[in-house]
Amino acid sequence: MVKMSSLNESYLLSVIKTAAVIFRALPFGLSLWMARVVGGTGYYLLPKKRAVVYANLRIVFAGRKTPQEIRRTAKNVFINFAQSFVELFCLPKIKRLGFQHFVRLEGREHIEQALAKGKGVIFLALHSGSWELGSMVNGLCGHSYNVVANLQTREPELNDLLNEYRIIAGAKVIAAGVATREIIRALRNNEIVSLVLDQGGKDGVAVKFLGKTASMSTGAVRIGLKYGVPVCPAWIVRTSHTRHCLRIFPSLDLCAHEDMDKGLLEATRRAAQHFECLIYEHPDEYMWFYKVFKYSTESRVLILGDDKTGHARQSQAAAQILTRSLAAHGKSVEERLVPVHFKSVGAEKMFRFYAFFAQAFKFLVREEVLQFFLTTEAYHALTAYSADFIISCGSTAGSMNFFLSRCYGAKSICLLKAGLVSWDQFHLVIVPEHDRPSVSKNARLVTTKAALNLITPEYLKEQSAQLLNHYSHLKSNVRPKIGVLLGGDTKGIAFDEAQIRLLLRQLKEAAAHFNADIVLTTSRRTSPAIDDLAAKELKGFERCPLCIIANSQDIPSAVGGILGISDIVIVSGESISMVSEAVCSGKRTIVFSPAGDYPNGRALTKYDHFVLGLNEGGFLLACAVKDLSTAIHSVMRNKLTFKALNDRAAVQSAIEEII
């Protein structure tokens, strides 16, 4: 019984042979016109291939070309590729009509100079233009030409057909399995051998290519260095509808190096650099259909900001974990934060709905539409950059993350809910338990006890040092320290001045009782009234050596430094970010409700649920302001045991899965 795969293979081969006969029977110009139609149609009918081509072009040309120009180039890539295939099918016809009518050879003198050494010559090429027309070299210059045939493992019978065309054009075919031995034999016979530089895969070396490292094949350069064989870059480019120019350049200067690996790397780098200017000049000739930078040693991380400090710190924490994971894989990281600024509140809302519909209708995902929603500065900043990973926190940035990750071909990491965009549209979603995430079988979801943050032992040490350098009088102060992080009004919670006055009085009493110091910072959200109250009560108080009013003092190390130098920490419960940072610092943490008791007679907010959940888990102590004195006494006397909280391990494990 014939296997289904064999039937499919035979069917495909029959279709290709039939198409080849038809194209050869038609006038050559008409065949190429049909190829252009097929290529242009394929651009629209092959969305996955189109996305790969567009993403590759963005990496190289973002900032050099507009999104519209990149899209036109991508379409031309499809068209040129289709024409190259038709020209391959027409090789027998081209030979009959005369190679010189279709390909002009430039640089013949470089071929003769190289062959005069008697060691053969290697043509170093890229997968660009109608590279199969290189098989005509024999007929154009009269020298034996060898091409290494890559096996089509899925359609082995197709190999025979392709090799048949190459042989008709005058080339000798070297099978990949015996390539090295046959290549050396051909070179010793003073023949030409064509090898490609790009698509080095796992076995290649990473060198700078078009602005980013990419894997390059070292076969040609390695043979050139070892045997002294001239290596001449070769490039074929379409000059008109039916004609091409095959350019042979002078041989590369392959200088021997004591360290073979260093010499190989340097020679490969120079070879890649040679082709860069040609690709910049003719971008639609290059074959962008594979992931050019798949094996790059560089990664670019884009953080989308929404002007919310808490969201920014969560995104930065995810980026920090991602960076460490990438570094463990041998990759360097370039990180960029770009604020997402919309023209208006209405434009932001409209974009959320647009992103919602773009989930189902992929054709809506086009970078150029962003100019209708974003400010000019934000639009140019986002379209001029290309990232491998995009990180966002919150609904506003989350919708943009979904949209841009489709444009960039990037992997998306979303923290918290992303507006109307479903979680299964992201490569990874990180969400705290208090958001009560619904389970989606298609989403890669990791839940955390607290909000992700930057707090690590190294971070606390660094921030403490910066704070102590800024306030040198704290260095000689050895008394125990009560750290206080005081927030401000937020949705559903308003600070009560009477409660804060009671809080400050109890803090002063506890400091005197335990011979301790108070180190306090307010936040940008703290109201002027609470700022004034804190300054009036604590500045000048002998046991408060540090009182930072954030709205009038810009001290970046305030929160991290206070967490680092404090023995216990007291935090207002309306800030999920500050509470999370305090708990993750490893310090004994007390959280109070700035508006009164947690469960007493009012509906619980999401902030209350968050704090009470951590309280039940033993990670902190939640209390009302009136009970703060009792709570401080219990903690200072070590009557309570606190659990350590570390969400980073789970997040890192999830990130490892998507790298």
The full DSSP string for 122-181 is EEEE-SBSSGGGGGGHHHHHSS-EEEEEPP-SS-HHHHHHHHHHHHHTTEEEEEGGGHHH
pLDDT tens, position by position, 216-264: 999 999 999 989 999 999 999 999 988 999 999 999 988 766 677 888 8
286 vs 270: CA distance, rounded Å: 19
Q: What is the mean pLDDT of residues 170-184?
A: 81
Mean pLDDT, residues 465-487 taken together? 92
349 plus 427 within the same structural domain: yes
Residues 360 and 475 in one domain: no
Residues in the chain: 659
pLDDT > 70? residue 166: yes
- What's CA 276's distance to the chain center, in Å? 22
What would the pLDDT profile of 269-298 be if each residue is shown by its tens digit?
999 999 999 999 999 999 999 999 999 999
Q: Residue 4: its pLDDT value, please?
A: 40
- SS3 label, residue 106: strand
CATH number where 602 lies? 3.40.50.2000
pLDDT at 6: 55
Could you tell me whether strands 298-305 and 244-248 are parallel, antiparallel, or unpaired per DSSP bridges?
Answer: unpaired
Give the least confident one: 425-429, 440-444, 539-543. Answer: 440-444
Higher pLDDT, 6 or 566: 566
Residues 444 and 496 in one domain: no
Per-residue pLDDT, 171:
83
| In a shared domain, residues 378 and 497 | no
Banded model confidence at residue 99, pLDDT cuts 50, 70, 90: confident
Average pLDDT of span 419-429: 92
**Are residue 420 and residue 502 in the same domain, yes or no?**
no
Single out the residue of 130, 404, 407 nearest to residue 243, CA to CA.
130
Q: Establish how many alpha carbons lie within 13 A of residue 408's alpha carbon, considering only the half-sphere containing its beta carbon.
A: 24
Q: Which residue has the tokens 């296997």?
A: 3
How many whole angstroms from its chain centre is CA 303? 10
Domain containing residue 343 = 298-448
Residue 156 confidence (pLDDT) above 70: no
| Across 561-570, average pLDDT | 96
Reported for 115-120, long-range contacts at CB under 8 A and 24+ positions apart, including other chains, are 115/143, 115/190, 115/192, 117/228, 117/230, 118/190, 119/187, 119/188, 119/190, 119/227, 119/228, 119/229, 119/230, 120/186, 120/187, 120/188, 120/189, 120/190, 120/191, 120/192, 120/193, 120/229
Q: Are 409 and 58 in contact (CB under 8 A)?
A: yes
Confidence band, pLDDT 50/70/90 cuts, at residue 3:
very low
Q: Is 538 a domain residue?
A: yes
Whether the per-residue pLDDT at 154 is higher than 90: the answer is no
pLDDT band with cut points at 50, 70 and 90 for residue 562: very high
Minimal CA–CA distance to 648: which of 407, 317, 346?
A: 317
Task: Please check whether residues 87 and 189 belong to one and the same domain.
Answer: no
Long-range CB pairs of 242-245 (<8 Å, 24+ gap) are: 242/28, 242/29, 242/32, 242/102, 243/102, 243/103, 243/104, 244/102, 244/103, 244/104, 244/129, 244/130, 244/133, 245/103, 245/104, 245/106
The domain that holds 368 is classified in CATH as: 3.40.50
Q: Do 107 and 84 share a domain, yes or no?
A: no
Is pLDDT at 430 greater than 90 in this prediction?
yes
In this structure, the answer to whether residues 265 and 243 fall within a common structural domain is yes
Residue 600 clears pLDDT 90, i.e. is over it: no
Distance, in Å, from the CA atom of 247 to the CA atom of 625, rounded to the nearest integer, reads 81
> Given pLDDT bands bounded at 50, 70 and 90, which one contains residue 136?
confident
Residue 9 covered by a domain: yes
Give the angle subtended at the CA of 423 by the CAs of 420 and 426, to the nearest 5°. Answer: 115
Domain for residue 641, yes or no?
A: no
pLDDT of residue 139: 67
What token pair was written down for 444?
Answer: 């890669």
Residue at a domain's end among 234, 251, 285: 285
Q: How many CB atoms lie within 10 A of CB 468?
A: 17
Predicted confidence at residue 419, as pLDDT, reads 87
pLDDT for residue 587 is more than 60: yes
Residue 203 lies in a domain: yes
Residues 533, 590, single domain; the answer is yes
What's the rounded Cα separation, in Å, for the pair 71 and 366? Answer: 9
* 561 and 416 assigned to the same domain: no
Of 124, 104, 127, the residue nearest 114 (C-alpha): 124
Question: What percentage of residues in the chain have a pLDDT greater than 70?
Answer: 93
Domain end (from 448, 471, 490): 448
Q: Tell me, what amino acid is at 235? A: W
Q: Which residue has the higher pLDDT, 144 or 136?
A: 144
Q: Please report the pLDDT score of residue 401 as a whole number.
A: 96
Report the pLDDT value the prediction gives residue 2, as an integer from 0 to 100: 40
- 421 by DSSP, 3-state: which? coil
Q: Are residues 479 and 623 in the same domain?
A: yes
- How many domains does the structure of the chain reveal? 4
- Whether residue 8 is predicted with pLDDT greater than 60 in this model: the reply is no
- The answer to whether position 84 is within a domain reads yes
Residue 629: inside a domain? yes
Picking from 397, 409, 392, 399, the residue whose alpha carbon sits closest to that of residue 357 is: 399
Confidence of residue 435 (pLDDT cuts 50, 70, 90): confident
Give the span between the Cα atoms of 123 and 235, in whole angstroms.
9
Residue 540 has pLDDT above 90, yes or no: no
Residues 151 and 261 in one domain: yes
The answer to whether position 643 is within a domain reads no
Q: How far apart are CA 497 and CA 484, in angstroms?
A: 16
Asked if residue 50 is part of any domain, the answer here is yes
Rounded to an integer, the average pLDDT of 519-532 is 94
* 384: three-class secondary structure by DSSP: coil
Q: Which of 285, 306, 335 is the last residue of a domain?
A: 285
- DSSP assigned state of 445: E
Give the pLDDT confidence score for residue 560 in this predicted structure.
95
The pLDDT mean for the chain works out to 89
Least confident interval from 158-172, 531-545, 594-608: 594-608
Assigned token pair, 106: 């430039």
- Where do the DSSP E strands lie in 33-152? 103-106, 121-125, 145-149
152 band by pLDDT with thresholds 50, 70 and 90 = low
Reported confidence tier of residue 201, pLDDT bands at 50, 70, 90: confident
The sheet carrying 546-548 orders its strands as 546-548, 517-521, 481-485, 568-572, 588-592, 621-623
